[in-house]
């Protein structure tokens, strides 16, 4: 895109929310990804479900590759006016990232409880799987 960057309001961007006309907002930038929907590895419907909102978290949660991030440049059409997102009650991941303090390097009780939760989320399925195999082999040996 040459010249000045176009700045879109949230209302403008949110009108483009169909499979035939699909714009998304990622990191404060607007992308017209309509032509990419058929080629999206997760299916076009996944992308369409991220329209009319800030799709930054959806995009980041998937863990897109560097190549996918570079591909965004091909679909870039402008920037979002963040004030228009706030005025309609849409939380912008871009603005919330800037407002968050840096993570603390010391352990807090919440981080240790998160660690405990992750350990249990890992161990409990393993224990259940082990018990299932144990019962199965026990019944075979009878």
Closest listed residue to residue 11, CA positions, set 72, 90, 125: 90
- Residue 3's pLDDT is what? 61
Answer yes or no: pTM beyond 0.95: no
Residue in 56, 59, 27, 54 with CA at minimum distance from that of residue 42: 59
Which residues share a beta bridge with 21?
18
pLDDT in tens, the chain (142 residues): 456 789 999 999 999 999 999 999 999 999 999 999 999 999 999 999 999 999 999 999 988 999 999 999 999 999 999 999 886 667 666 544 444 444 444 444 455 567 777 777 778 888 888 888 787 777 777 6
Left, alpha or beta for 63 (phi > 0: left; psi -120 to 50: alpha)?
left
DSSP string computed for 28-72: TEEEE-GGGGGG-TT-HHHHHTT-SSB-HHHHHHHT--HHHHHHH
């Amino acid at each position: 895109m040459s010249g000045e960057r176009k700045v879109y309001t949230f209302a403008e961007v949110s009108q483009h929310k169909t499979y035939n006309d699909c714009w998304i907002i990622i990191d404060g930038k607007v992308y017209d990804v309509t032509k990419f929907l058929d080629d999206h590895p997760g299916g076009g419907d996944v992308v369409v479900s991220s329209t009319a909102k800030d799709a930054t978290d959806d995009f980041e949660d998937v863990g897109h590759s560097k190549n996918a991030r570079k591909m965004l440049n091909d679909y870039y059409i402008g920037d979002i006016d963040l004030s228009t997102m706030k005025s309609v009650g849409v939380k912008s991941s871009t603005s919330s990232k800037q407002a968050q303090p840096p993570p603390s390097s010391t352990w807090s009780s919440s981080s240790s409880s998160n660690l405990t939760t992750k350990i249990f989320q890992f161990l409990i399925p393993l224990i259940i799987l082990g018990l299932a195999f144990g019962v199965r082999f026990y019944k075979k040996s009878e």
